[in-house]
Amino acid sequence: MATRLVGLPAPTFDMPSTKNLETLDENVKLSDYEGKWVILFFYPMDFTFVCPTEITALSDRYEEFQDLDTEIIGVSTDTVFTHRAWINTPRDSNGLGEVKYPLAADHNHKVSREYGVLIEEEGIAQRGLFIIDPEGVLRYQVVTDDNVGRSVDETLRVLLALQSGGLCPSDWKPGDKHLVKS
């Protein structure tokens, strides 16, 4: 059952991550990102087919998000050890290669459950993307079928629209006018 999260404080988290790929001893916590925008995205599993296309696409354009004072965190229910193995596998061998942001391990399923993306019977997360504002309020959520990868361009467009603070019509892009309340 879907839960309304948009407009409410984002569920907090503290998960093992690949922030320190060597030691795997640095967790990611929502509280570490206070004052920044956060793209928190969930994906089903490591070493799959659609997931690496999203993870690498976001990594390849990471600087664009950094320029918008935005951090990215990827999450699956796999362990940090599996994440590290996938990162250490070259892209041309179904691996990720270098990833410029951390992948977090929600192996106890707590965070996936709180964000409403856990497929309980399979123990994996759906493909969900959440944008959290600098005050910790969840401003955007989208969950898609596992067979369809998400668009980095659309994620950037929505982030920019949220950061603009105005009323943004369909297909709004930076430079377009905002709607005016009458």
Active-site residue, from 30, 38, 40, 51: 51
In this predicted model, what pLDDT tens digit does every residue of 4-38 receive, in sequence order? 789 899 999 999 999 999 999 999 999 999 999 99
Q: In which band, very low, low, confident or very high, does the pLDDT at 147 lie, cut at 50, 70 and 90? A: confident
Q: What are the boundaries of each domain within the chain?
A: 33-150
Domain at 33-150, CATH homologous superfamily: Glutaredoxin (3.40.30.10)
Per-residue pLDDT at 83 exceeds 50:
yes
Q: How many residues does the chain have?
A: 182
More confidently predicted of 105 and 92: 105
Mean pLDDT lowest among 44-48, 145-149, 156-160: 145-149
φ, ψ for residue 176 (rounded to 5)?
Answer: -70, 155
Helix axes 51-60, 152-164, angle to 10 degrees: 50
> What are the strands, taking DSSP E only, across the chain?
14-15, 28-29, 37-42, 70-76, 103-105, 118-119, 124-125, 127-132, 138-144
Q: In which band, very low, low, confident or very high, does the pLDDT at 2 lie, cut at 50, 70 and 90? A: low
Active site residue 168: no
Per-residue pLDDT at 161 exceeds 50:
yes
Contact 102, 109 (CB under 8 A): no
Q: Which residues contact 37 (CB under 8 A, 6 or more apart)?
A: 68, 69, 70, 71, 131, 132, 133, 134, 159, 162, 163
127 bridge partner residues: 144
pLDDT of residue 1: 47
Other residues' Cβ atoms within 10 Å of the Cβ of residue 33:
18
Per-residue pLDDT at 179 exceeds 80:
yes
Tokens 């290669």, located at residue: 97
Q: In which band, very low, low, confident or very high, does the pLDDT at 52 lie, cut at 50, 70 and 90? A: confident
